[in-house]
Amino acid sequence: MPNIIINGPAGRIEAAYSHSKVLNAPLAVIFSPNPLQGGTMNNKVTYTLFQAFVERGFSVVRYNSRGVGKSQGVFDKGEGELTDAAAILDWIQTLNPKASGLWTAGFSFGSWISMQLLMRRPEIKGFVSVGLPATEYDFTFLAPCPQSGLILKGSRDNIVLKEDVDVVVERLNAQKGIVIDYRTIEGANHFFTDHCDHVKSNVHDHLNGAGAGLRVLSEERVLLSA
């Protein structure tokens, strides 16, 4: 799949896009981890999330943060990255004006950006957050959280403390109408080394429960609404 260039607030944004063959397919935007720590759109977890949504018939985009690969600009501690995220969302919506739904998904720093975008864009109907960096970043801005979603954590994650994620999940689940599907992948570290298949299976399982997208089963496709 050839990379594409999207115009962003700081210049060019390098991205990869998969267009669904399904008419008016739902959309998904995938956010990569911290660029200062080597995070790119080709990170294994980021790519796994991308592939999971592609398999369900979504039109999906993932992209390099500013300053990474061919993306222009420099790291902006989250503020500029959020404006880039909004630009990517605008781009995929303009390309797919009749899309049947919209989800976001992110890994680590990417999940922090994803959740901030969730607060600003009411058209987002669900989220997947992997390795939620609750130890490093403040998530009190989720007040109230507008949508339910999935949070995945590795049982051997020594970067993000379980108790910090627990606090976020408990606060969100206390909100009326919000249900956080909080799952731990046994044996996985923060980077889900050798556990990306478990990340994908949990994402599919959650999306099955949410009735989101298409699921490819053997040779048959089962159509669900997003």
pLDDT per residue as tens digits for the range 78-115: 999 999 999 999 999 999 999 999 999 999 999 999 99
Predicted local distance difference test score (pLDDT) of residue 224? 41
- Residues paired with residue 149 on neighbouring β-strands, in sequence order: 127, 180
Percent of the chain with pLDDT over 90: 91
User: pLDDT band at 214, cuts 50/70/90?
Assistant: low
Q: 139 vs 102, 116, 133, 169, 182, CA distance in Å?
A: 22, 9, 9, 10, 16
Count the domains in the chain. Answer: 1
Q: Mean of the pLDDT values across residues 203-213? A: 88
- Calculate mean pLDDT across residues 43-50: 98
Burial class (CB in 10 A: 0-12, 13-18, 19+), 127: buried
Identify the band that residue 212 occupies on the pLDDT scale cut at 50, 70 and 90. Answer: confident
Which residue segment(s) compose the domain that 219 sits in? 4-223
Q: How far is CA 183 from CA 25, 97, 123, 149, 176, in A?
A: 27, 33, 25, 11, 20
> Would you say 142 and 119 are in contact if contact means Cβ atoms under 8 Å apart?
yes
Instruction: Please report the pLDDT score of residue 211 as a whole number.
Output: 79
Looking at the chain, how many residues does it have? 226
- Amino acid 8: pLDDT: 96
CATH code of the domain covering residue 171:
3.40.50.1820
Q: What integer pLDDT is reported at residue 176 of this predicted model?
A: 94
Query: For residue 226, what pLDDT band results from cuts at 50, 70 and 90?
Result: very low
Tell me what pLDDT residue 154 has: 98
Tokens of 207: 């999306």
Answer whether residue 225 shows pLDDT above 60: no
For helices 196-210 and 44-55, the axis angle rounded to 10 degrees is 40
